[in-house]
Structure 1
Amino acid sequence: MTEKLYYQDVDQKEFATHGIYQKQDEDGNCFVVLSETYFYPTGGGQPHDTGTLNGVAVTNVEEIDGEIRHYVEEKLDQIEEIKGIIDWNRRFDHMQQHSGQHILTAAFVELFGFETVSFHLGQETATIDITTNALTEDILQKVEQRANEIIHENHPIETKWVTREEALQYKLRKKLSVTENIRLVIIPDYDYNGCGGTHPTSTGQVSSLKILDWEKQKDKARVQFICGNRVLKHLHFKHTTTTELSRMLSVPEGELPMATNKLLETNKVLGKTIDELREELLQYEANELIASKVALNGEKMVVQLFQNRTIQELQKLARLLTNQVEKINVFFVTDNGEQLQFVCLRDKEASVNMKIVVQQILPLIEGKGGGNETAAQGGGKAVITGEELLNQIKNIVGELAV
């Protein structure tokens, strides 16, 4: 069953009607079908309206099997008399973005011959995909300027229901996707397009259009833009952000890029210095650990328990030892709270099979890990203490060395 659609009447925020029936879909979601509706269902790249029916929130509107379903938060007490209220802020925002899309699309065609193949209206921004992947800043600037000229000239935006034969009398921007119930959205002498979406009555109501960014999509380009009140919201965010950055860096807004670049260069130098100091500290730590080595059946062994160290850092520290001392076996355990991790490493002249060591200690901590005869690592739950795990490693190594 198809209702009469009145969502094109842009000034209608409230309406009275009656319901045909209300049901639940296969997922248990309640919906109402009305005799007529001003709610726009999702379609044509434009999201659905929201609002209320008899005070109950409408959360989604979809056209399914020829009927428009108004999904509601809860079942309506009665559907004989229904008062519908459109969330007008959401509706008008969608009207601005959708009409802005028509204007922007027409500008790309007029200036460069790039056609739009898809449109998506998101919560924060809108996008169009156009038939090129070689945009430049100059192209975007010219298109944006032309679109805003059309907006500020305040052309009327007309809608007209026509037959297919009548539609073909207009210079349509793209081929029609339907053969009957054709609705044209017209900006006289600028853009003629078949469209079922919501639009204001003039381009001036779009207010303004700003292209934000673009990216390649194979052989096409996806252009991101905003219109109307979204431009003001975006400007407010950018202004607040730049003002705060200007205060934090103690420079005028115009000098923010230069100050930021200087700060990044300084951080890069400091980061390099920190890395060098960390290497020196690790080498110092390695020297102390080498001094603590013990004998192991003609070889050497270092065992050490750490707190809250990364396994990557322990691997690097272990390599410093094996690179400096021949026939050395290194066993590190780090206690990271709820987790124990370990590193086992030997130089090529030592003989302890690290793979066997790991296989025997992993079950003790319900852990995972692996490696080979010379290097292995892993981790698991702290079901025993780090000291106990280290002692178990010593016992296993002692048995292997016999």
Structure 2
Amino acid sequence: MHLPNSRKVHEKVRDMALACQKNSYLKELNTVVKSCEPATLKTVLSGKKVKLNGFEVILEDTVLFPEGGGQPDDRGKISGVEVLRVTRKGTDGVHFTPTPFDIGSNVHLEVDWTRRFDNMQQHSGQHLVTAIADSVYGFKTTSWNLGEKTSFIELDTPKVSNDQLENIENIVNEKIRAGIAMYPTLYENAEDPEVEKARARGLPDDHVGPVRIVTIEGIEANLCCGTHVSNLSHLQSIKLLGVEKGKKNHSNLVFVAGNRVLNYLGTAYNNEKALTGLLKTGPDQHAELVEKTQKNLKIAQKSALTLMRDLAILEAKMFKSNGNAGNYFTLHRKEGDSEFMNIIVNEINSGDVLIFLTTGDEKGAGLFLLAGTEDQISHLGPKVAEVLEGKGAGKKGKFQGKANKLNKRTEAEIIIKDYLKNCGINT
């Protein structure tokens, strides 16, 4: 592994960098607790925003990287206790934990290496792609995002052609196969001439401590605080997945690096295998057959829509032709929709008839519509919605909305019939 160049940095400057920044491959560390204060953490658990009570722990040094440079923070453990967030405060890493630690106590740090190495591969891959895109085509990187499955680099160009994309990918992977060294170097301050030569968008306003430059030997030197591989061969490979339109005439170059390439390939193969089983044809014909299936589906949906409209008209005509139908019409049609219900109401077209219609899963959710006089709707609409555990609104003799419990439709009908009976209306 390649450590910072000791000829270019004093020991006192090295000591100001975190252990994870001096050696990105360090997985464990023994250190001492400097401070521990109660704190809260806003985070997302199981897709829900929550606020957790815990403690902010500062150590004499840390192997857990705090978020920065576009790279997410590490996860790991302090003496067996899970670290839920790592942030930076000055030159210190701040660890959020659910339990406190005694100041001055000795602790053992462990990094979640799977997460860390993935972040290292994506971040180092971004540096390499950025350098090649700039040197070959003059495409400057304006920002980047390390996502959970794929990442993207925002380039200051409105378009990247397929040939350019292919060429960048080929050059990038040539550099990986060449096994070129990648390493950090620490400088005491930003006025050092070597710092001025490095590619950067400027130091953060709250930056303190030494200036760190990450070099890909013979390719680029970049101002960066993140963790990186020590050799491009550790990236394994990089796949440029494509280019998406970005904001303000920029382009987002989507990529995966390292183990993510293998994961992406495995997922793509499993999807291809599943489609082969469903479509009963080889991968080369998947797109053609799916396109044909979509066209047939559109035709079928159009035919089904026409049939439902005809059925709605027929239901209304059957009711109107029944001399003993009374003044109440009710119907449930699982396959129906709002248009189906409104056609029936418009076809019956009589203020003397109270109409109660529902569509959807009889045991689940669906839609409902109540049509009649203003008095009937204002009285029954909210009650029917409440029974069906749904929401709706009334307007011009109609009350309609969503029903979450269509299995309570019978209860709604009892309320309607009791009301009509009390009004002396035949049902």
> TM-score, normalized by length of structure 1?
0.83
Q: Which moved more, 1:150-159 or 1:242-251?
A: 150-159
Distance apart, 1:390 and its partner CA: 4.4
Report sequence identity in percent: 25
- Cα 1:320–1:35 change in 2 (3 A) is same
Secondary structure of the structure 1 residue equivalent to 2:246: strand
Q: Which residue of 2 aligns with 1:43?
A: 68
Matched, 1:377 2:377: no
Q: CA deviation at 1:79?
A: 5.1
Please give the secondary structure, in 1, of the residue aligned with 2:173: helix
Root-mean-square deviation (CA), in Å? 3.1
Indicate how the Cα distance of structure 1 residues 88 and 26 shifts in structure 2: closer, same or farther if over 3 A, else same.
Answer: closer
Question: Is residue 88–residue 94 contact of structure 2 (8 Å, CA) maintained in 1?
Answer: yes
1:166-205 matches, cutoff 5 A: 166-168=192-194, 171-177=197-203, 181-205=210-234
Cα distance change, pair 341–187 in 1 and its aligned pair in 2 (3 A): closer
- Which of 300, 306, 315 aligns to 2:342? It is 315
Alignment of 1:82 onto 2:107: yes
Equivalent pair of 1:305/1:387 in contact (CA under 8 Å): no
| Alignment correspondent of 1:14 | 28
1:18 aligned partner, one-letter code: V
- Is the Cα–Cα contact under 8 Å of residues 293 and 302 in structure 1 kept in the other structure? no
Q: How does 1:77-116 map to 2 (within 5 A)?
A: 80-116=105-141
**Aligned counterparts of 1:293 and 1:217: Cα–Cα separation in 2:** 65
For residue 356 of structure 1, report the CA deviation from its aligned partner: 3.5
Report what 1:275 is aligned to: 305
Report the AA paired with residue 88 of structure 1. Answer: W
**What is the aligned counterpart of 2:276 among 231, 240, 246?**
246
Q: Given the superposition, is the C-alpha separation of residues 22 and 3 from structure 1 closer, same or farther in structure 2, using an over 3 Å criterion?
A: farther
Q: 2:377 aligns with which of 358, 372, 381?
A: 358
Cα separation, partners in 2 of 1:369 and 1:179, compared to 1, 3 Å: closer
Q: What is the rounded CA distance, in whole Å, between the counterparts of 2:163 and 2:393 in structure 1?
A: 55
Aligned residue runs from structure 1 range 102-251, under 5 A: 102-162=127-187, 163-168=189-194, 171-177=197-203, 181-213=210-242, 214-251=244-281
- SS for the counterpart of 2:371 is strand
Cα distance between partner residues in 1 of 2:384 and 2:286: 52
What residue number does 2:356 align with?
333
Matched residues, number: 379
CA offsets 1:136-170 (integer angstroms, 9 cap, x no match): 33332222222222222221112211243444477
Question: Following TM superposition, by how much is the alpha carbon of 1:36 offset from its aligned partner in structure 2, in angstroms?
Answer: 1.4
SS of 1:199's equivalent in the other structure is coil
Distance 1:89 1:337, change over 3 A: closer
The structure number with the bigger radius of gyration is: 1
CA gap 1:330/1:151 in 2 versus in 1, 3 angstroms: farther
- For structure 1, the residue ranges without an aligned partner over 5 or more in a row are 296-300, 346-353
Give the CA deviation at 1:358. Answer: 1.6
Aligned partners of 2:238 and 2:256 also within 8 Å: yes
Q: Which residue of 2 aligns with 1:55?
A: 80
